[in-house]
Amino acid sequence: MATIDDIALSMQSRIGVRAVVHLVRTFGSAEAVYAASVDELVGRAELQESVAREIVARKTHKAADRELTYCARHGIEPIASTERSFPALMLETDDYPHVLYIKGNTEALGGLTLSMVGTRHISQYGVTMCERLVEGLSRRVPQLAIVSGLAFGVDVNCHRSAVRHGLPTIAVVANALPAVTPAQHTAFAREIVDQGGAIVTELHSQTKQNGRYYIPRNRIIAAMSGGTVVVESGASGGSLHTAAMADSYNRVVMAVPGRVTDMSSEGCNALIRNRKAALITSADDIVAEMGWDMHEEACLPSASEPVIELSRDEAGLLSLIGDSDPISMVRLQELTALDAGTLATLLLNLELAGAIRQVPGKMYLRM
């Protein structure tokens, strides 16, 4: 669980999320940031002296202590970016929130995920495609979790299809927990949690709600998964912003085509036409685009094939890579303290040995 220092740092008023990320990466943890002197904060992190003095004064710690009490009272778990339960893919971006507030199953965030977004003004075609895609994915990739924004239209239809077909689903909301927006989905949010999913936000309870958090929320949806599917979208809207963010994070962007006369498909058709998204019409297409069709058993050595022996360094690195939760090269470098060149060589050797495989987003899984 996030510490009081983690929450206090995320509450500092004069620094944004990128600056918080920079500070944590520079010093290693929020605790180390608060243990630093003004001179160290100015010298190592290049902060303005006035900002450094505010950090050293610990002005936000009382508010952070209240937040921890609030979370305990409402069954909310705050997790920091330095924890293992934090979504590993998000660490590859420069604007992830240092603290996420979660209601439900935190383990769902660390598994295989796919983001699915689209218009609030969903058509019957969109409803059909949400169901068709999620139902197919539940058969092909039963360990998958569906990520979306709990909004009306495509979002909630993807969440409902996931629950219906036994997949955990993660709803990223633009408000403080335990409430959800829109309020009409409150009961369904509880169902998501009961079925092993989670409700997620970056906003603490003392955030002033002003309706400006939906666009920032979209970056979390995009960053959390290796791929984003736009099921149905008009010529403009939040889902296209999510797709653009996913593209900026070097994620796989996919879109469902629609009739050229349908305004609700203009955005998807434009993404495909401009080569900003891969055209997909089924779960099989998604599996192929994401590289999930590489069966592990086909990569394992047969009884007649010799098992390749690993060096001590390779074996040590392999022990850090799981077979269900992808881990990024950035995270591996943090854990091993190896230089980028050495780490890349060891990862390549493990890939050639059939011990690991790379998945979208420069993530690695053990075979």
Which of 226-230, 258-262, 340-344 comes out lowest in average pLDDT? 340-344
348 confidence band (pLDDT: 50, 70, 90): confident
Output 331-339 pairs: Cβ under 8 A, ≥24 positions apart: 331/88, 331/91, 332/364
Which of 3-7, 48-52, 91-95, 328-332 comes out lowest in average pLDDT? 328-332
Q: Which residues pair with 229 in a beta bridge?
A: 116, 254
pTM: 0.80
Which of 29-33, 39-43, 344-348 comes out lowest in average pLDDT? 344-348
SS3 227: strand
Give the residue among 131, 118, 86 at the shortest CA–CA distance from 262.
118
Query: Can you tell me the mean pLDDT for 54-62?
Result: 97
CATH of the domain spanning 296-366, picked from 1.10.10.10, 1.10.10.350, 1.10.3720.10, 3.30.930.10: 1.10.10.10
Residue 347 pLDDT: 85
Query: Can you tell me the mean pLDDT for 30-39?
Result: 97
Radius of gyration of the chain (CA): 21
pLDDT tens-digit series, residues 158-195 = 999 999 999 999 999 999 999 999 999 999 999 999 99
Summary mean pLDDT of the chain: 91
Q: DSSP H helical segments within 141-292, as ranges?
A: 154-164, 186-194, 214-224, 238-248, 266-273, 283-290
Fold held by 106-290? Rossmann fold (3.40.50)
Amino acid code (one letter) for 306:
P
Residue 53 has pLDDT above 70, yes or no: yes
Residue 294 pLDDT: 66
Query: Can you tell me the mean pLDDT for 57-84?
Result: 97
What are the structural domain ranges in the chain? 4-104, 106-290, 296-366
- Could you tell me which residues come within 8 angstroms of residue 46 by beta carbon, excluding any fewer than 6 positions away? none
Output 159-164 pairs: Cβ under 8 A, ≥24 positions apart: 159/188, 159/192, 160/188, 161/130, 161/131, 161/133, 161/134, 161/135, 162/134, 162/138, 162/197, 163/191, 163/192, 163/195, 163/197, 164/134
